[in-house]
Structure 1
């Protein structure tokens, strides 16, 4: 902790403190998104198998109960479709589309923050680099304080490193979570198609 405080002072409180705050925010959102997306993940294959089995038996209520058991965004979206069974196909699809937009927004919550931090942190670090170099050149112009020149260069390097230290993990987290959300979207599209196919088969058999 003492070493971190020392680097904050050397890099300049006006730059390093905002970078530290950005780092803490990125860590908080990373953990929150990880637990949320992990909780939202279900065994999609098992879930769809049970739903199809219930619909083959013409038991829509049982399929709804299965959705309530599994929970998660995919189950929630299919539940909205099941609750509209008997309505025109366009209405069912529109209902599930609206539910999907709501669930995807929940999955993507916080990702813009990580993206912003990954872009903003290097800019703050570069700002510290510029101010550090300005201080170095000012000291160099006086020609009587080599220590001040070294201090300015040190500040420039520390803020650059600080910006990268904050930016890189935030960017990695953003890319990772974006990939996971895209995986959810593909599963939602597949599950919705399976449900509509099951509805069509049920209608043909009546």
Structure 2
């Protein structure tokens, strides 16, 4: 029975783990560099998925409150919304806190005060994109470099009686790094395009909401005693 199992395993060939180990060994050091590149890409993509969630940037409930802020101020119920702004749990809340702190001033001054913080928030939204950019550029180049180095070794060993099958197998192994490099770069390009589009959409949405809020704050009185309570001018 044991001999039968041993014979079956021998005929079945190497296991998946052995095949992966052989794959890396045949491709050389460039495959390990590609493995590190893939880990960096995966980490950056996961980070962007988490950092660009709706609640971290523009929570829907807070966006609705900003949309109805003028009505809320007119009804005298702005205090809970102001408290949510002050907590600063999202990019929208932090920018709104800056805007309401400039209430009573011209809209241009309010917009100018918000701009610096808005730029910082956009920079935060862009965090991690540089890593994906680098992966997109480096992964195919590492793949080509690995292939080129493999081909150099193969062709340098040419002899008059060289085995064509051996040469063909060697070239196939050398091309593995190019395949892996492209396999890393293509998903990274797709992810980069998706994240960049989402960042642009969120930035435009923030601009629209803050413009509306600045318009309300311009027509809102600023209490002399520093109270956070808002009231319409006049």
- The interval holding the TM-score normalised by the smaller chain is 0.7 to 0.9
Q: Compute the displacement of 1:159 (Å).
A: 0.6
1:79 Cα deviation from its structure 2 partner: 1.2
Instruction: For residues 114-156 of structure 1, give each alpha carbon's deviation from its aligned partner in whole angstroms, at most 9, with x where no partner exists.
Output: 0110111001111112112222222334543546523431232
TM-score by length of 1: 0.87
Asked if 1:121 corresponds to 2:136, the answer is no
Structure with greater helix share of residues: 1
Deviations 1:37-63 (A, max 9, x none): 114141164232343333334665443
Give the 3-state SS of the residue equivalent to 2:220 in structure 1: helix
TM-score by length of 2: 0.77
Per-residue deviation, residues 144-183 of structure 1 (Å, max 9, x unmatched): 3546523431232201111011111211111111111111
> Among 149, 152, 173, which residue is 1:134 paired with?
152
Superposed counterparts of 1:140-159, under 5 Å: 140-141=158-159, 143-146=161-164, 148-159=166-177
Asked whether the 8 Å contact 1:125–1:164 carries over to 2, the reply is yes
Q: Report which stretch shifted further, 139-148 or 46-55.
A: 139-148
Task: From the superposition, tell whether residues 169 and 69 of structure 1 become closer, same or farther in structure 2 (CA, over 3 Å).
Answer: same
Partner of 2:26: 10
Point out where structure 1 has 5 or more consecutive residues left out of the alignment.
none
**Count of residue pairs brought into register by the alignment:** 205
Relative distance call for 1:200 and 1:188 in structure 2 (3 A) is same
Q: Deviations over 1:79-137 (max 9, x none)?
A: 11112223444432122111111111111101011011011100111111211222222
- Structure 2 runs not aligned, ≥5 long: 1-15, 222-231
Counterpart secondary structure, 2:182: helix
Could you say if the C-alpha distance between residues 198 and 132 of structure 1 is closer, same or farther in structure 2, counting changes exceeding 3 Å?
A: same
Indicate the SS of the match to 1:86: coil
* Large movers: runs of 4+ above 6 Å: none
CA RMSD of aligned residues (A): 2.4
Distance in 2 (alpha carbons) for counterparts of 1:56 and 1:149: 82
Equivalent of 1:107, from 97, 100, 125?
A: 125
